[in-house]
Amino acid sequence: MSVSTVITAAGKNSRMRKDQISRGIDLTNKLILPFNGKTVIETTIDNALSSNADECIVVLGHYAVEIKEAIFDNYKDKVQFVENNPVDVGLSTSLFHGLSKLTSDFALCITADQPTVTTETFNRLIEVSQKSDDPFRTISILRRRKTGLLDTAEGLGMPFVAPRENLMAYLENENDNLNPILRKIFDDGYVFYGIKEKNEKELLNINHYDDYLTLLD
């Protein structure tokens, strides 16, 4: 069963911009901030490309020009960039857009502001999905609270591995954050399996400038 990757990188960057303004520092999209010799988004892409997934789609929206100027030449032969049109859409729409460009059975879904999630963890998500009793009714997801078989989808988000077409059916015609949709999938009887993080930094997205500084330490 084939697995491909969708990386969402289409957000407004509003919380980071607010923090940068309050600190009096240059306004820079969080995804192209320096991170371990690369940028945040490049680190996320590289970790995904090193995983056992096949093709990789990066979904852009807000700040697409700025992001592509920073990384396109380095990745034009490695990933497919697609852009939301219109750009002002929710995360669920961005993810649906990326999934619609894939032909694989399963999708490893990642947000670009997760540079500390390791290739090892991505591979573990894939492995648990593929080895489950019913992969087409299973979501393997980076845990937020419990590990193993989960009794709720509260608080969950990316990264996760899901059956592509089934996930698209839930995302179609939605324009929302992801968690309400994951809760609906859970309520419909899908098995959710929480994967333990390799280290605590894997659980932190870069939303605020302090998050970025924490992950740099």
Q: What are 69's two structure tokens?
A: 């100027």
Mean of the pLDDT values across residues 47-70?
96
Segment 96-136, tens digit of pLDDT: 999 999 989 999 999 999 999 999 999 999 999 999 999 99
What is the pLDDT, as a whole number, of residue 217?
A: 80
For the chain, what percent of residues have pLDDT higher than 90? 95
Q: What's the pLDDT band for 77 if we cut at 50, 70, 90?
A: very high
Segment 158-199, tens digit of pLDDT: 999 999 999 999 999 998 899 999 999 999 999 999 999 999
What is the pLDDT, as a whole number, of residue 50?
A: 97
Q: 27 and 77 in contact (C-beta within 8 Å)?
A: no
Q: Is the pLDDT of residue 1 over 90?
A: no
Peptide bond into 86 cis (omega under 30): yes
